[in-house]
């Protein structure tokens, strides 16, 4: 995951660590992300950017039990992102979030098509 993120973002020195956890779902995967930034991110702006990002569905309403899960992502081309928050007592320049996607629908092939569509637009 770290190497793919480095390649996609063009940041060869990008730090990262990943742990795979297998869960009993037919399709899908989830990832918990801890991201650090050069300056303090504004949570409302981050949520707005995610909500308007192509290929992303923001599912982030814990009061109403709305958060991303691999089960909810099954059958969707979009990646569900939610639980966007700052780490408790942690770095003010960091964010935590969770993303889930259908790995049979959203993978390298669909990503390549979507990138080509953006380049041709």
* Calpha distance 36→94 (Å, rounded): 4
Query: What architecture does CATH give domain 2-120?
Result: 2-Layer Sandwich (3.30)
In angstroms, the first-to-last Cα distance of the chain is 29
Task: Give the pLDDT of the chain (121 residues) as one tens digit per residue.
Answer: 788 878 878 889 888 777 767 777 778 888 889 988 999 999 999 999 999 998 899 999 989 999 999 889 999 999 999 999 998 887 899 999 999 999 888 776 787 888 888 889 8
Structure tokens at 33: 């992300």
Give the start-to-end residue ranges of the domains of the chain: 2-120
pLDDT confidence of residue 64: 92
- Cβ contact 94:33 at 8 Å: no
């Amino acid at each position: 995951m770290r190497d793919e993120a480095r390649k996609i973002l063009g940041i060869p020195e990008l730090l990262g660590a990943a742990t795979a956890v297998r869960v009993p779902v037919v399709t899908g995967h989830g990832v918990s992300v801890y991201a650090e930034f050069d300056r303090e991110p504004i949570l409302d702006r981050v949520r707005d950017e995610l909500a308007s990002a192509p290929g992303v569905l923001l599912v982030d309403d814990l009061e109403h039990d709305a958060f991303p899960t691999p089960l909810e992502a099954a059958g969707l081309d979009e990646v569900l992102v939610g639980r966007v928050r700052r780490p408790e007592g942690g770095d003010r320049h960091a964010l935590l979030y969770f993303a889930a996607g259908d790995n049979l629908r959203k993978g390298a092939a669909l990503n390549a098509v979507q990138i080509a569509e953006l380049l041709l637009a």
